[in-house]
């Protein structure tokens, strides 16, 4: 009986170790794998940023800008604020987690992301405002029980999903988080608009020369 119990215990331990090993391999693939795993990581990052975007957006729509009523400016402003917050979160997560772009210049990534995010911003902003405005004036939706807040959430989610797949992922994968010929120009642009760093470098250079003469 003891031998049988020991054998069963050994099998159980081996089974647990195999399960752990499989789980670890799947986790490693998800964290570092290419192809479909990159898409899955991008989807997770996009969902996190999107929910933060949606939360901020809905808070401003439902409470902060509530006095605007059905004015299109209400959805416009709420969407804009949510997009800015979500964009910053998405960029940071993608840089560290999705594409692991530590080998790329932060300056170049920032400029390229801003360009793609700008296009996404306009697509989401115009798309959400237009679809929300269209649906808000569809009387049959109110007759079947849809309220203004619910219509806005649907419009925001629908437009966000389309833009996320057809625009953000493809351009981020093939342009933003990889080295391109555009990177040197992006870096020069950042250096040009941050002259205080140049002054700091010059002052440090002068100080080092002064130290050497003494």
pTM for this model (two decimals) = 0.68
| Closest to 94 measured CA to CA, from 40, 42, 29 | 42
* Cα–Cα distance, 88 to 130 (Å, whole number): 24
31-79 pLDDT, tens digit each: 777 778 888 888 889 889 889 998 999 999 999 999 998 888 998 899 8
* Cα–Cα distance, 116 to 104 (Å, whole number): 17
Contact 114, 192 (CB under 8 A): no
Q: Indicate whether 84 pLDDT > 60.
A: yes
């Amino acid at each position: 009986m003891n031998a049988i119990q020991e054998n069963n215990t050994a099998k159980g331990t081996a089974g647990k170790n195999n399960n752990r090993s499989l789980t670890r391999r799947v986790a490693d693939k998800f964290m570092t794998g290419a192809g479909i795993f990159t898409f899955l990581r991008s989807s997770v990052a996009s969902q996190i940023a999107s929910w933060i975007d949606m939360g901020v957006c809905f808070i401003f729509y439902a409470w902060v800008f509530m006095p605007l009523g059905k004015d299109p400016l209400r959805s416009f402003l709420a969407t804009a604020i949510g997009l800015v917050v979500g964009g910053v979160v998405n960029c940071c997560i993608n840089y560290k987690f999705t594409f692991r772009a530590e080998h790329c210049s932060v300056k170049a990534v920032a400029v390229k992301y801003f360009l793609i995010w700008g296009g996404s911003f306009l697509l989401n902003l115009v798309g959400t405002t237009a679809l929300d405005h269209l649906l808000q004036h569809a009387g049959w939706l109110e007759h079947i029980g849809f309220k203004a807040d619910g219509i806005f959430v649907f419009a925001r989610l629908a437009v966000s999903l389309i833009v996320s797949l057809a625009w953000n992922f493809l351009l981020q994968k093939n342009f933003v988080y990889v080295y391109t010929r555009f990177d040197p120009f992006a870096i020069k642009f950042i250096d040009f608009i941050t002259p205080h760093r140049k002054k700091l470098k010059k002052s440090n250079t002068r100080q080092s020369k002064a130290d050497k003469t003494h």
